[in-house]
Amino acid sequence: MGRGTRRWGRLVGLVACGALTVGAVQASGAGIVPEQAPVGSYRLKVDAVAYHLPGRTALGIPVRKGVVAVDPKLIPLGTKLHVPGYGHSIAADVGIAVKGRIIDLWMPSHAAASKWGRRTVTITVYR
């Protein structure tokens, strides 16, 4: 079991399944249009890098589409995000090369990760 799994595992699971809300935004992100971001959200220009590896995140949830690795000094773990071209996501992992304005996006296959590559995008971070 990874560090912090007991403390955050259930909370993130509740947020991920939509049983718990984050602020005024539902965890599922349903109905949120990036151009009309809710009050308290902000935009951040980052480099988004795709990867495909099996395993679990730093919060203890299995990797899947919508799981993003972030620098927790910039974006706290458990935060909801919208990444243009990728969709609604949760910041649930950290990476050794993820420092500052870089995020890692999990992809379902190596081909999908290669197709995405590395892009500069403006994400919406929901508080």
Nearest residue to 108 via CA among 46, 29, 30, 50: 50
Q: Where are the domains of the chain?
A: 5-126
> pTM of the predicted model, to two decimals?
0.68
Reading the block at residue 127, the tokens are: 């508080």
According to DSSP, the residues that pair with 49 across neighbouring strands are 104, 118
Query: Which residue ranges in the chain fall short of pLDDT 70?
Result: 1-38
What pLDDT sits at residue 39? 76
According to DSSP, the residues that pair with 125 across neighbouring strands are 42, 81
CATH of the domain spanning 5-126? 2.40.40.10
* pLDDT tens digit sequence for 49-78: 999 999 999 999 999 999 999 999 999 999
What pLDDT sits at residue 95? 85
